[in-house]
Every structure is written in structure tokens, then in C-alpha cells.
């Protein structure tokens, strides 16, 4: 099985929004695994490991968006108070939901299936907004060279 990093880098030659949409698909799959594991055994380590894997993947994805996508969005659509402010607010809400879901160390207590459902709702709303609104709008405003540069910078972004 490929490592998480290899899976995230598999779309290296794609347009920037295909890269991010591919990450969305992987994160959706990881969330489904965490939900399934929590429903089966909310006290089990499998559920916590699945949630931790989801969190690791989201941290990388969010870092890429925060460092590359948000500044491009600010440049194209009204500065810090435009569409980029919605992205920042959604990222903060998702981080809070992860904090709530990960509040107990691995092996202590059960995962809250309702907390995971809340996280699912936040992630899905965020992904859909990006895929159906933001990415098409940005594609329409970016020159091909700008899009290629954006894709290159997204792929180059790593966790600190």
C-alpha cells in the first residue's frame, strides 16, 4: 500500500484544482473509514487511528490551501475580506471540530459518532463550496502559466 505522501503526490502533473479535488476525495474516504470504525467500536484503537490519519491528511491539505490557495484567492477576489475570509473561517471551524473529536488520547474513552458527523458536515460543505464555486471561478480568472505555478507550489508545500 502506498504511503500517504505518495498518495497525495500521485496527481503531480494535474491542474491545481484537480490536485486539491483529488485530496478531497482521499479525505472523504478517510472520513468514511473513521466513521465506520467508530460506529463498529467507538472504544477501539482502529477508530482513533482512522481519525488520526484523516487529521494528518487534512493538516497537509489545509496547509497547502492556506499557503497557496488563499493568497491567490485574495489576489483575485477582494483581498482578505473577500472569498478568502470564508476559507479561513471554514478552516478554523474544521480545526475546532477535529480538536473536539481528538480530545481524548488514543485508547481512552470512546469516539463521539455525533462529533464525527459534525466534522463530516463541515468538511463536505467546505469541499463542495471549493469544487463547485471557488475552483471554477479561479480557473476562469487564472492564466495557464499562473495555474501551472499554482499547481507547482501546491505540490511543493509540505507540513512544517
User: Domain 12-156 in CATH: superfamily?
Assistant: nmb1532 protein domain like (1.20.120.520)
Q: Domain coordinates of the chain in residue numbers?
A: 12-156
Give 58-75 pLDDT, tens digit per residue.
Answer: 999 999 999 999 999 999
Angle CA(21)–CA(25)–CA(28) in degrees, nearest 5? Answer: 130
Q: Helices in the chain by DSSP H: which ranges?
A: 4-9, 16-40, 45-64, 70-76, 83-101, 113-129, 135-141, 144-156
Confidence of residue 104 (pLDDT cuts 50, 70, 90): low
Considering the chain, what is the average pLDDT of its residues? 86
Amino acid at each position: 500500500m502506498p504511503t500517504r505522501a505518495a498518495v497525495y503526490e500521485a496527481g503531480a502533473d494535474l491542474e491545481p484544482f484537480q490536485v486539491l479535488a483529488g485530496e478531497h476525495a482521499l479525505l472523504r474516504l478517510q472520513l468514511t473509514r473513521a466513521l465506520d470504525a467508530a460506529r463498529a467500536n467507538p472504544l477501539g484503537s482502529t477508530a482513533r487511528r482512522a481519525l488520526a490519519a484523516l487529521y494528518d491528511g487534512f493538516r497537509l491539505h489545509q496547509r497547502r490551501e492556506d499557503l497557496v490557495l488563499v493568497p491567490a484567492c485574495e489576489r483575485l477576489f477582494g483581498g482578505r475580506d473577500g472569498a478568502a475570509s470564508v476559507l479561513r473561517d471554514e478552516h478554523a471551524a474544521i480545526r475546532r471540530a477535529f480538536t473536539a473529536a481528538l480530545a481524548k488520547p488514543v485508547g481512552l474513552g470512546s469516539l463521539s459518532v455525533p462529533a464525527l458527523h459534525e466534522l463530516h458536515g463541515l468538511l463536505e460543505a467546505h469541499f463542495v463550496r471549493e469544487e463547485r464555486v471557488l475552483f471554477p471561478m479561479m480557473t476562469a480568472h487564472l492564466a495557464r502559466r499562473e495555474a501551472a505555478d499554482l499547481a507547482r507550489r501546491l505540490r511543493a508545500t509540505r507540513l512544517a
